[in-house]
Each structure stands twice: as structure tokens, then as C-alpha cells.
Amino acid sequence: MTRLLNNKAIPVILFLALALVPLYSSVFDDRFVLLFATRILILALAALSLDFILGLGAMVSFGHAAYLGLGAYAVGILAAHDIWDAWISFPVAILVSAIFAAITGAISLKTRGVYFIMITLAFGQMAYYTATSLSAYGGDDGLTMWGRSEFFGTDLFANDTSFYLLVLAILLGAYALLKRIAASRFGRVLKGARQNEARLHALGIDPFGYRLAAFVIAGVLAGIAGALMANQTEFVSPAYMSWHRSGELIVMVVLGGLGYLHGAILGAIAYLMLEEVLSGYTQHWRLIFGPLLILVVLYARGGILGLIKGRAK
Amino acid sequence: MSATLLAVQTLNGLQLGVLLFLIAAGLTLVFGVMDFINLAHGVQYMLGAYLAVAGYQLTGSFWLALLFALIVSLLAGLALEFLIFRHLYDRDHLDQVLATFGVIIFLNEAVKVIWGAAPLSLPIPAAFDGSFQLMDNLRYPIYRIALIGSGLGVALLLYVLVTRTRIGMLVRAGATNPDMVAALGVNIRRLFMIVFGFGTMLAGFAGIMAAPILSVEPGMGDNLLILAFVVIVIGGIGSIRGAFIAALIIGLVDTLGRSMTTDIARLLLPPAAANDVGPAIASMLIYILMAAVLFFRPSGLFPVTRS
Amino acid sequence: MAPVLELKNLNKAYGALQVTKNVSLTVVPGEIHAVIGPNGAGKTTLIGQISGALASDNGDVYFEGDNVTGLPVAKRALRGLGRSFQITSILPEFSALENVALGVQAKAGHSFRFFKAAAKEQSLNEAALRHLATVGLEQRANVRAGDLSHGEKRVLEIAIALAGEPKVLLLDEPMAGAGPEESARLVEVLGQLKTTIPMLLVEHDMDAVFQLADRISVLVYGEIIASGTVDDIRGNPAVKEAYLGTEDGV
């Protein structure tokens, strides 16, 4: 019973609840909830992609926010040149993210431990500084898009409700895909490499190629999240790629519980709602948030899912 | 570029290098001896600067403020060690990154609450006010020379401490094999606390010295922290000598790079593009340098091998 | 008989310390060739050099006649050079079955398969169960590997190595930390296996060595000081001297 509760029920309940948000929003005439939930889902997608490499594969990337930026800028720059078609901008976002991930991953994955953290941070910073230098596209101040992506003449992106459902559908699709991959032979290699890399080599598996593939998959998904984010805020800025952002993504993943994939979604929800609630009390909500994070790391390391599992025992 | 400008930028590069060394030394010691990633080292630097400002407001004297800030930053660092960090020595690096990230979030906000978000400044002490005629056409602020000098002095002090004293020997032994050192009966907890406290003081000292010439504001430590990490990765984690050399290299590369890349870019590209590309490459130079060093020497220039 | 594994003058030094020195030996089909020696003799370093985990300063490793000295660990493993680890290197979060299934999966070629659930793959599970049965662990197939007893883990190590269908097995102190019952079981398993898979057995446990080995080489301070049959080694005065003072005295 408890195993069922942990593995199947939680994501089902989660996605059902998320699907009901537009209904809630229209019944209670609360547009803010819909917009806030959209933002949560977009960051949840980025967090989900990070959990795939960090939770499953123990690749602590401190530069994952770079993909949010790459995807966002793909959409923003094309929009600045009056190209609004989603069928163009999204594939571009995906391609750019994939190339960046392939190149930086090939270099970073040759390193281990703290060196890996540092080098992913460095690549994230490089992306950040490149964006700040693009004065034609706003540089440090960012770029305002006057509109959203178009999809065959429909207002799929422009209408708040349909956009929310689009994001939810993408999140659900990404979750299902990653869950599938995690259970496959490929996923088994990633999980095995996390536990004992020497063992895998001795069996004839060099984890490098697998890790690189996972890194690219994660980068692409985060790039899609970035493209969605540009659409939601209609604004693109280097701040999307700051190392603080990368740190926040890691916090979200750990907060939810590493390695379960739906944990990352829970973590994103928890993080953003906590931020919202706390900032309602005080402008200095970070004074509470910092110590809270420390307490979670010290005493609730398994995150939300860890707490649920603990209570179910 | 004229010789004067080159000389000034070189001195500025040394100044940045020395500042980076003061921060990186504590960082590499703590990482080397305790295998502890301390992202909060940057806010310890920031705290030093704010405490110097507070101390000056209390006493009106730069020197008393220096003493005040050094003592209080040491105490603050020890408090952090006692309350939080010592529970993390056995945890993996990810946990350490997250917890120290929490400390950054907290302290960056705390200084805003106590001192406000607007940048503060500290007047240069009278003894070091004014500039020094180094050569024809070159006057350089005395304070900055004092900063460089004090940094070099600290480097020398560290060298003597680590190589010539008993505690230094324990630190070096602890960096290579902490279990062995503990097994030999050394109180490893106390050793860790001493190392950590000392590292904190170095960061605080850097903040105090930087306060008169940089603006004291929330988040001032964040970018220097990343640079400091690049320094220790290039220098070799655990090596103070590596941190010293790498810090000077990075200080020079970053400073000289920034002044030169735009000029170089203009030679190759049209001016509008050069004005974008130049600063972008300048910002990326040290990361490119780090990637290159790691490619040839994956453990940095002077790695300390851990048993 | 052509040797399956041949070492020619393997050398490895760490700074001024020469850990292995001109080590040469062979492993022929059907035998267990044991390598014994006092602590610090360089046995684990030697295994590392053979498996590819450690680069030799000079010397060659020949596997089935091919010079594999330059190949990385994974490539040697795929050719059939299997190994077990002195410090248990199972995957603690996986079940015993899944541990071995991973080995089977590795042998099958690349693992870039994204959509089928690996845990449900009959071919992998059947083969894995067979290997577990060979070492007597089939009843414990679904137990989380980290929860197994120490002896069971040592046996699982062997099962995982077997999953790769090795042509030669490098065993690094398989009895390490095993109690008398577990050691007896391991000896039985290895004894049965030797007809199909020749082995290089590095071991401290002298009882096991004398029960299992066809040939023994003695490694002291990185050098082979004696090599021959069990009786040769038992009677060798240099070997007795090397072991004087240890509880594993000949």
C-alpha cells in the first residue's frame, strides 16, 4: 500500500490537481493563480530536466540555467527580427540547446566532483556574459518582446488558459518520457554509474557517452522551458542564466526529493509558493528562506518525498 | 596602449590578484583540509567590508575599524562553523553547496536589513591618502600600493606559518590525510576550527582592505567568490602556493584582458561588433583559461594529492 | 597450451616506490593461477594493471594472444577480461538480480535503448538468474544488494563478473572479510567454475589457495620470487622466509 502511495499515486494526483487549475481560476475569477501556475510549471520543467541528470546521474550541473536563457533568447532574438512562428523558434531553441549541451557536456564530463561543478558554472557564466554583451538585443537590460509565439494563426500562446494547458501538456510529456527512459537500459546505466563507476567499466560500459546523451536531453528540455518562459513574460534577459538561477534550480530539485522526477515538480511548486507566501509577509523573505534551506539540507535531505516516505513507514 | 596605461593596468591587475588571493587562500585551505566547499566565503568577505564601515562609524578611525572588523568577522565565521558547517564535513559536496548557498541568501539579505541596500563607502585612512609618483606621468594611489603590499605580506606570513610552524605542518598533513592525523591523536575538530577561523579572517581582511576603494553593497562578494573558485581550481585545490600564483595570473589576465580585448577586437572586426565582442570575450577570458588549464592539468597547476 | 592471459615484464612505480617490478606470468585454460604475497606486495596494483584501471610504466598484457596494453578498462572487459573487486563494488541500490542483469546488458552491446523497461526484459532476467544460480544466490534475487550479508555480497561480486561471460577472471581477494561458511561456499563455486573459466586469483586466505590453485606465484615487494605448483611453493625456503611473522605462514 505504501509503495503504491509513493510511486504511482503521487504523480497522478499531482497532474490531476494541476489540470484543474484553469477550472479553479475561472470559477473563482482569479487570473493571478493561472499566471502564477504557468510560471511554476515552466520552472518545474527546467527542474525536471535537472533531476534527470542530477538525481539519476549525480551530475551536479551548476550552469543549468544557461539553457533557460538559450531557449528564451532563441525566441526573443527571432521575435526581434519579426519571426514569430513557433514552428521555427521552438526547433531553433532545441537545436541551440542541444549544440551547447553537446559541446560543453563533452568537455565537462571529462571532469569529476567539484571540478565538474566549477566547469559547468564556468560555461553558464560564459553564456551569461555573452548575453550581456549582445547590445543589439538589449544587453544587460534585456529585450522586450511585443507579443508571443504564433501557432498556425491560433492564439494557443496568447490565450492564458490555452497557454497554461500547453505548458502542462509539455510538462506531462517530458515527465512521461523521462520516466520511460529512466526505466530503460539507458537509465539503468546512468543509475549504475552513479552508484559505482568502476564497476561499470569493469563490465565493459564506459558511462561517458550515456552521460553526455543524458546531458543533452536535459539541456534540450530546459531550453524548451526557456522558450516557454520568454513567451510567458514577453521579456528576455541575461538574468535568466545567472548562477543564482542555476542554484535555485538545484534547490528545487533537492527540495522535492532527488531522483524521482515528480519530486522536481513538487520541489518547484514548493519553492515558488514558499517564495510567494514569504514575500507576502515581508520584503526580506530571504532572511527566512536562507535558514530554511539550511535546515532542509541538514535535517530533511530527502526533500518532500523523503518526508512522505518517512511518514509512510 | 601607452606604457603608462599598461603600467597602471598591471598594478590594478596585481591589486585584484592580491585581493583574490586573500579570499582564495581561505577557500583552498578549507577545501583542502576539510574537503568542504564553502560558497559562503564570498559573504564573509562582504561582512568584513560592512563591519569595517560599521567600525568606522563607531570609532572614526580606520585602524580601530580594521581591528573591530577583524575580530567580529572571526567571531561570525566561528559561529557559522559551530552552528552549521561542522555538521556538513561528512556530507557530500552537493549538500555543502546548498547549505552555503542558503548562508549567502541569508547574509546578502541581512546586510540589506541592517545597513540598507544603497552602496556605502569607507574613507581612505589619512596615512595612505594621496598618490605616489612612480614614474614620469604615472601617479598611482598610495592606498592601492598598500593593499598590494599587505596582500604580499599576508602571503609571506602564510608561507612561514604553513611551512615553518607545527600547526602549519598539521594543516598540511590534514590536507593529505585527515584520518591519519586524527588517528595520531590530534584533535581534528579543533584543527578544523582553527583553519576555518583563519580562512574567515583572511576573507574578512580582504573585505576591510577593499572597502575604501570598492563600493560596499549587498552581493559584492558573489562575483569575487566565483573568481576565487576559478583561482583555486586553476591553482590546485589545497595548495596555497597554487592559489597565490593563480590569483595573480587571473588578476592580471582579467584586468589587462579587459583593457586590451576591445582594442584587439577593433583590429579584426567593425567597431560596432568589436564593442560587443570585446567585453564579452574579456569576461569569458578567465573561464577559457580555466577550461584550458583543466584540459592539460585536470587537478590544477599545483595539485595536493590526498591519500 | 596457449595462455589466455600473459603478462610480460609489467612495471609500475609511484614516484620512487617501485610497486610492481618485471612481473611476468601466464594463465592457461582450465586452471586457477593464484598470486599470493604479504601485504603491500603490490597485488592489487597488479590487478589494476591487468584490468586496465592503472597504466603500467612499461610491460605488456596479452589477452588471447592480442596485446591489450593500450586498451581502456571497458574495452578489455568486453573482450572477456572479467574482474571482481577487493572492496565490494556492487550497486547497492539495485536488487541482486538487477546487478547481474546490468552485466548481461553490458555484454549484449551498447545500452542506448530508451523505451523498453529494462526490469521487464525476459532475456536479461533469465540470464541473470542463471548466473545467480551458479553462485547459489537465486533465492535472494530480489533483495536490495545493499541489504545482503557481507558474504552474499562477495558472492554477488562473482556473479556480476560472470554476467559478462568472461574468458578469464581476475579475482581480487574474493574471500576478503568472508566468514568460514561463506569462504567454503566461494571455494566450492570457484572450484566448479575453473573448468569453464580460467582465473587469476589474488588471495590471502591460504586454505582457499591450496584448495583451488593449480599454480601459485609469490609476489614480494612487487617481484615474483617463486612460481610453480602448490607443492613447489609449499617447500620453497624463500617463500617461507617472506611469510615469516604473518599469521598466514606457509
Cβ atoms of A164 and A37 closer than 8 Å: yes
Nearest CA in chain A to B283: A129
- The shortest C-alpha distance from C144 to chain A (Å) reads 13
Chain A residues whose beta carbon lies within 8 Å of the beta carbon of residue C118: 183-185, 187-188
**pLDDT tens digit string along C224-246?**
888 888 888 888 888 877 766 45
Ramachandran angles phi, psi of B16, nearest 5°: -60, -40
- pLDDT of amino acid B281: 82
Q: Is B92 on the interface with A (CB under 8 A)?
A: no
Nearest CA in chain C to A212: C112
Q: What is the CA radius of gyration of chain C?
A: 18
Kindly determine whether residue A183 and residue C118, on different chains, have CB atoms separated by under 8 Å: yes
Q: Which residue has the higher pLDDT, B263 or C66?
A: C66
- pLDDT of amino acid C244: 61
**pLDDT tens digit string along B117-172?**
999 988 888 888 888 887 777 788 889 989 999 999 999 998 888 888 887 887 77
Mutate to test the interface with C, among A3, A201, A216 (most CBs of C within 10 A): A201
- Do the chains B and A touch each other, judged by at least 3 C-beta pairs below 8 angstroms? yes
- pLDDT of amino acid B1: 61
**Is C41 a domain residue?**
yes
- Give the residue ranges of chain A where pLDDT is below 70: 1-6, 312-313
Measured distance CA(A225)–CA(A42) in Å, rounded: 5
Q: What is the residue whose three cell numbers read 588471495?
A: C203
**Residue of C54, C17, C6, C40 lying closest to C220 (CA atoms):** C40
Q: Is A185 on the interface with C (CB under 8 A)?
A: yes
Kindly determine whether residue C73 and residue A202, on different chains, have CB atoms separated by under 8 Å: yes
The H-or-E segment that residue A296 falls in is helix A286-299
Last residue of some domain: C165, C182, C217?
C165
**Is B307 a domain residue?**
no
Residue by residue, DSSP assigns C82-122 as EEE-SS----TTSBHHHHHHHHHHHHTS-----SS-GGG-H
Kindly determine whether residue A188 and residue C105, on different chains, have CB atoms separated by under 8 Å: yes
Supply angle C-alpha C135, C141, C143, rounded to 5: 125
* Total domains present in chain B: 1
DSSP-derived 3-state class of residue C154 = helix
Nearest CA in chain A to C89: A199
Q: Is B157 on the interface with A (CB under 8 A)?
A: no
Show the cell assigned to C15: 614516484
Kindly determine whether residue C53 and residue A198, on different chains, have CB atoms separated by under 8 Å: yes
- B128 DSSP assignment: G
Kindly determine whether residue B99 and residue A297, on different chains, have CB atoms separated by under 8 Å: yes
Neighbours, chain C (3 or more CB pairs < 8 A): A
Give the contacts of A301 (CB within 8 A, at least 6 positions apart): A254, B95
- pLDDT of amino acid A234: 93
- A136 DSSP assignment: G
- pLDDT of amino acid C250: 44
Measured distance CA(C157)–CA(B120) in Å, rounded: 63
pTM as predicted: 0.90
- pLDDT of amino acid B180: 78
**Is B158 a domain residue?**
yes
B67-101 CB burial, b ≥16 within 10 A, e <16 = ebbbebbbebbbebbeebbbbbeeeebbbbbbbbb
Show the cell assigned to C233: 611453493
Task: Mark whether C75 and C15 lie in a shared domain.
Answer: yes
Q: Is B306 on the interface with A (CB under 8 A)?
A: no
Supply angle C-alpha A61, A65, A71, rounded to 5: 125
- The shortest C-alpha distance from A56 to chain B (Å) reads 14
Measured distance CA(A39)–CA(A33) in Å, rounded: 10
Q: Is B113 on the interface with A (CB under 8 A)?
A: yes
Measured distance CA(C168)–CA(C79) in Å, rounded: 10
Q: Which amino acid is at C40?
A: G
Neighbours, chain B (3 or more CB pairs < 8 A): A
Percent of chain B topping pLDDT 90: 42
Task: Mark whether C24 and C48 lie in a shared domain.
Answer: yes
Domain range for residue C129?
81-165
- The shortest C-alpha distance from A198 to chain C (Å) reads 8
Q: Which amino acid is at A145?
A: M
**Residue of A231, A78, A95, A226 lying closest to A156 (CA atoms):** A231
Domain range for residue B232?
3-119+140-296
**pLDDT tens digit string along B289-307?**
888 888 788 788 888 776 5
Kindly determine whether residue C77 and residue A181, on different chains, have CB atoms separated by under 8 Å: no
- C143 DSSP assignment: S
Show the cell assigned to C95: 536488487
B198-237 CB burial, b ≥16 within 10 A, e <16 = bbbbbbbbbbbbbbbebebbbebbbebbbbbbbbbbbbbb
**Domain of residue A41, CATH code:** 1.10.3470
Measured distance CA(A106)–CA(A110) in Å, rounded: 7
Chain A residues whose beta carbon lies within 8 Å of the beta carbon of residue C159: none
Show the cell assigned to C175: 574471500
Kindly determine whether residue C89 and residue A202, on different chains, have CB atoms separated by under 8 Å: yes
Nearest CA in chain B to A138: B276
Q: What is the CA radius of gyration of chain A?
A: 19
The span from the first CA to the last CA of chain B, in angstroms, equals 49
**Is C181 a domain residue?**
no
**Is B132 a domain residue?**
no
Output the CA–CA distances (angstroms, integers) from residue B149 to A76, B18, B63, C139, in the order listed: 48, 9, 17, 72
Measured distance CA(B171)–CA(C128) in Å, rounded: 49
Chain C residues whose beta carbon lies within 8 Å of the beta carbon of residue A192: 91, 94, 102
Chain A residues whose beta carbon lies within 8 Å of the beta carbon of residue C113: 184-186
| Residue C249 reports pLDDT greater than 70 | no
Average pLDDT value for residue range C174-203? 88
Cβ atoms of A129 and B281 closer than 8 Å: no
The burial class, CB within 10 Å (0-12 / 13-18 / 19+), for A308 is middle
Domain range for residue A75?
2-312
Cβ atoms of C12 and C56 closer than 8 Å: yes
Q: What is the dihedral of CA B278, B281, B285, B290, to 10 degrees?
A: 180
Residue of A186, A195, A204 lying closest to C113 (CB–CB): A186
**Residue of B1, B2, B24, B5 lying closest to B206 (CA atoms):** B24
* Total domains present in chain C: 2
Kindly determine whether residue C103 and residue A203, on different chains, have CB atoms separated by under 8 Å: yes
Average pLDDT value for residue range B56-71? 91
Neighbour tally for B38: CB within 10 Å: 28
**Is B278 a domain residue?**
yes
**Is C140 a domain residue?**
yes
Chain A residues whose beta carbon lies within 8 Å of the beta carbon of residue B97: 60, 62, 117, 247, 250
Mutate to test the interface with A, among C81, C83, C91, C125 (most CBs of A within 10 A): C91
Size of interface A-B (CB pairs under 8 A): 117
Nearest CA in chain A to B219: A244
**Is B302 a domain residue?**
no
* Total domains present in chain A: 1
Ramachandran angles phi, psi of A236, nearest 5°: -130, 130
- pLDDT of amino acid B204: 93
Kindly determine whether residue B99 and residue A301, on different chains, have CB atoms separated by under 8 Å: no
Kindly determine whether residue B276 and residue A129, on different chains, have CB atoms separated by under 8 Å: no
Task: Mark whether C87 and C157 lie in a shared domain.
Answer: yes
Residue of B229, B275, B280 lying closest to A129 (CB–CB): B280
**Residue of A238, A236, A217, A216 lying closest to A227 (CA atoms):** A236
**Is B131 a domain residue?**
no
**Is C182 a domain residue?**
no
- Do the chains A and C touch each other, judged by at least 3 C-beta pairs below 8 angstroms? yes
Kindly determine whether residue A203 and residue C119, on different chains, have CB atoms separated by under 8 Å: no
Kindly determine whether residue B294 and residue A119, on different chains, have CB atoms separated by under 8 Å: yes
- pLDDT of amino acid B135: 74
- B123 DSSP assignment: P
Neighbour tally for B18: CB within 10 Å: 25
Q: Which residue has the higher pLDDT, B271 or A18?
A: A18
Show the cell assigned to A33: 493563480
- pLDDT of amino acid C215: 92
DSSP-derived 3-state class of residue C73 = helix
Neighbours, chain A (3 or more CB pairs < 8 A): B, C
- pLDDT of amino acid C245: 47
Task: Mark whether C69 and C109 lie in a shared domain.
Answer: no
Chain B residues whose beta carbon lies within 8 Å of the beta carbon of residue A107: 291, 295
Size of interface A-C (CB pairs under 8 A): 97
- pLDDT of amino acid B172: 76
Supply angle C-alpha B94, B96, B101, rounded to 5: 100
Chain C residues whose beta carbon lies within 8 Å of the beta carbon of residue A189: 102, 105, 111
Residue of B102, B237, B276 lying closest to A297 (CB–CB): B102
| Number of DSSP helices (H) and strands (E) in chain C, helices first | 9, 10
